[in-house]
Structure 1
Amino acid sequence: MSSPSTPAQLAELAASVAHVAGDVLLYHQRRLRSGADLSVATKTSATDPVSMADQESEQALVRAIEAARPDDGILGEEGADRTGSSGLRWVVDPLDGTVNYLYGHIGWGVSVAVEQQADDGSWHGLAAAVFEPTTGIMHSAHRGGGATANGRPLHVNDPVELPMALVSTGFSYDRDHRLRQAALVSQVLGHVRDVRRVGSAALDLCRVAAGEVDAYFEDSTQRWDWAAGALIAKEAGAVVTSLTTMPGHSGVVAAGPSLHPQLDALVGMSADLPTA
């Protein structure tokens, strides 16, 4: 049996491995609710946790990907970093929204992207899946194939004018950076309908794709945070660009075609993200 190779097949595989990881996370969440110790440690700050659930979810993802696509590279939030020989790599966040997960909120999921390397060495989104285990919703997309949630086509809201826009955002774990972000959100609040904060960049981008919010911006993300969600949003019709508001920090702006330039002008300088 040949390995999945077309963008559509890779999207199906991404969804399959995301579901496997989701089962691992649901198992550990049941243990957590019964009082089990998930060996929670911290990473970049005292408020940036990582748990046994994050680590075992990534291990499950890596095993499933290696079994199906042994020549592909893998880049994961919890340390997976393997160079492949196929020109494809998997960018995974095994638990996007760890704080929500540990507190019992529903805003967490598994993010899996497949990227293809271009001749210049850059990486571009080819297929993606973002799975929400608590709701059973699987967001999926592949390049040129549109985006879906459990098979239902997704479309961004467009046109939307800035004063009527419902905008989602997120915050850094670094306290000094959060103070600057608070000032930016305060500025944005005076120009839009309202602001929402979910706690998962991958799900924020899927909310844009589904029309559940009109836009998303955040300037403190890593590639595994946005790689899958950005492709899903783009395939649903969003304009997705990178966002830089200060040196050393980068993020994402995603919105429908009419809203994006208005929001981008408000929040900072952006450039194309390599989502396709």
Structure 2
Amino acid sequence: MSTARPDPRALGTLALTTGRAAAAFVREQRPAGRVDVAATKSSPTDPVTEIDRGTEHLVRSRILADRPHDTILGEEGGETAGEESLSSAGAVRWVVDPIDGTVNFVYGLPHYAVAIAAEVDGVVEAACVIDVASGHEYTAVRGGGAFVRESPSRRAVRLRAVGPSQMSHALVATGFNYVPEIRARQAQAVARMLGDVRDIRRTGSAALDLCALAAGRLDAYVEQGLAPWDIAAGGLIAREAGAVVTGLDGPPDARLVVAAPEAFAQEFIRLVHACGF
């Protein structure tokens, strides 16, 4: 059993190389047209495909081949404990979303991603999000900044979240739960927000929304019903780009995720509360 604390940069390198292999697998496996749905999760409109499952299997296999003691939490396969106890110092847990934006993937909308994050002692230390269709690679190591590469051969460019000059100019991303009753309440909150911001975007991938915020292509983000694999990788990338990522009364969780550039965050959080999210 290892007693040395893992190097976050090494974890980031493993996340990136594994993410590249997973993204290549998704590209190779996706057929023309719509993708068959193998199962559903939270509701009949929340799909899983065999390619989701195959991608997660690839990610698990590659990570455990390199780090067999680690724990892995994946959207499709749940949590599998490695040989290293999560209660021991320096324990690593990988949080994996094999295809974030599965509905887009099923329909052939080119906006879905592989997201991989590495936690050490419960804190996300390294992450990558790979936009499968564009090939853009978003990476971060805690304390080291967030970066994007347009492809593996291109130079990494540092990301910086940029807020709007005023609330009425804010372009805000959100998403909706697949459970109809929850979706109806979210729609009411978004409707209340529409009068105070420039516009709303619903792209279908939480990980890519958080990366877009980090890159300055969005001004803020709010969503409910997210799981750890939806938040972990994109959340670190947004934070390292200078965004605040928080929840209702603490860390972001299934109840609420709010993200915005630091200078704009408190004003946006107040609006989120006022709108009833």
TM-score (norm: length of structure 1): 0.88
Paired residue total:
257
Q: Residue 219 of structure 2 contacts residue 261 of structure 2 at CA under 8 Å; is this kept in 1? A: yes
Q: Which residue of 1 aligns with 2:47?
A: 49
Gaps of 5+ in 1: 118-122, 270-276
The one-letter code of the counterpart of 1:263 is F
Give yes or no for the alignment of 1:69 onto 2:67: yes
Q: Give yes or no for the alignment of 1:235 onto 2:233.
A: no
The 5 Å alignment of 1:256-267 reads: 256-267=261-272
Q: How many Å separate the matches in 2 of 1:249 and 1:243?
A: 10
Q: Deviations over 1:99-139 (max 9, x none)?
A: 0001111110001000111xxxxx11100000012111010
Aligned to 1:125: 124
Divergent runs of 4+, >4 A: none
CA contact (8 A) 1:97 1:200 kept: yes
Aligned residue number for residue 100 of structure 1? 104
258-267 vs 218-227, which moves further: 258-267
Equivalent residues in 2 for 1:200-219 (5 A)? 200-219=205-224
Three-state SS of the structure 1 residue aligned to 2:196 is coil
Tell me if the contact between 1:218 and 1:243 (Cα under 8 Å) persists in the aligned partners: no
In the alignment, the residues of structure 2 paired with residue 4 and residue 47 of structure 1 have an alpha-carbon distance, to the nearest angstrom, of 42
Percent identical pairs in the alignment equals 44
Q: CA RMSD in A?
A: 2.1
Equivalent residue letter for 1:18: G
User: Which string of whole-angstrom CA distances, capped at 9 and with x for unpartnered residues, describes residues 230-272 of structure 1?
Assistant: 000000000110147xxx9513111011221111111139xxx
Q: Are 2:24 and 1:23 aligned?
A: yes
Name the structure where strand makes up a greater proportion of residues: 1
1:52–1:11 distance in 2 versus 1, CA, 3 Å: same
Q: How far off is 1:211 after superposition?
A: 0.3
Q: CA deviation at 1:39?
A: 5.0
CA distance in 2, matches of 1:132, 1:81: 24
Distance 1:261 1:80, change over 3 A: same
1:242 partner amino acid: G
Q: CA deviation at 1:79?
A: 1.6
Contact 1:114 1:127 in 2 (8 A): yes
Conservation of the 8 A alpha-carbon contact between 2:111 and 2:132: no
Residue matched to 2:201: 196
Looking at structure 2, the residues matched to 60 and 110 of structure 1 have their Cα atoms a distance apart, in angstroms, of 12
Matched residue, 1:40: 38
Shift in Å, 1:160: 3.7
Say whether residues 1:87 and 2:95 are aligned partners: no
Listed as ranges, the matches of 1:235-254 within 5 Å are: 235-243=240-248, 249-254=254-259
The answer to whether the Cα contact below 8 Å between 2:33 and 2:107 also exists between their aligned partners in 1 is no
Residues of 2 paired with 1:41 and 1:125: CA distance? Answer: 30
